[in-house]
Amino acid sequence: MTTIEKQIQKARPKLKTVTPLVHWVITVYAYFNIIFGLSLFFAIDQTKISASLLIVNDIFSYKFWGVVFIIIGIIKLFALKTNNWKLSRQSLLLGVSIKAAWAVALVIRSLTSPGTFLVSIIWLALAAIQVVTFIFFMPPAVATNKQAGVGDE
């Protein structure tokens, strides 16, 4: 991070002040990811589950996915705490990517075995909320030259 970016980060108002909706969406998703990750890591005994809920769990374990979700949640909270808008944007994209992957895996699983279709719709909705927040409500991380008024002669 350059000196100018650090100065901008210190001078800019908190995300909660500029757009409270984005702040609360990121906060809720941060805690959701941490709680969900902890439940995957500690609460699920994969040896007692006869068929994996997700196709991706045939590749990685529930504990692995638990750690991934915990890390995403911590990144989101860190981005809010440090008022790092760029990291907040990136954490939204990371969350969308993981949730969309899970949603696709759940849709595929619902085609092969009944009972997971509703869960896949919920995961699609979780990903969609983050996409909409990122596209329509998240302010830009750093102004580009055109946004800053440079070169408008």
Contact by Cβ (8 Å): 137, 21: yes
Q: For the whole prediction, is pTM greater than 0.85?
A: no
In a domain, 116, yes or no: yes
Angle at CA of residue 97, ends 96 and 102, nearest 5°: 95
User: What is the model's pLDDT at position 38?
Assistant: 93
Task: Report the alpha-carbon angle 45-129-120, nearest 5.
Answer: 40
Are 19 and 138 a contacting pair, CB within 8 Å? yes
Q: How far is CA 114 from CA 61, 90, 126, 144, in A?
A: 22, 34, 21, 49
Instruction: Please give the tally of structural domains in the chain.
Output: 1
Q: In this structure, is residue 124 part of a structural domain?
A: yes
Which domain does 94 fall in, by range?
A: 3-137
Is residue 36 included in any domain, yes or no? yes
In this structure, is residue 148 part of a structural domain?
A: no
What's the pLDDT at 49?
Answer: 59
Q: Which residue has the higher pLDDT, 59 or 67?
A: 67
- pLDDT over 50 (residue 126): yes
d(CA 12, CA 26): 18
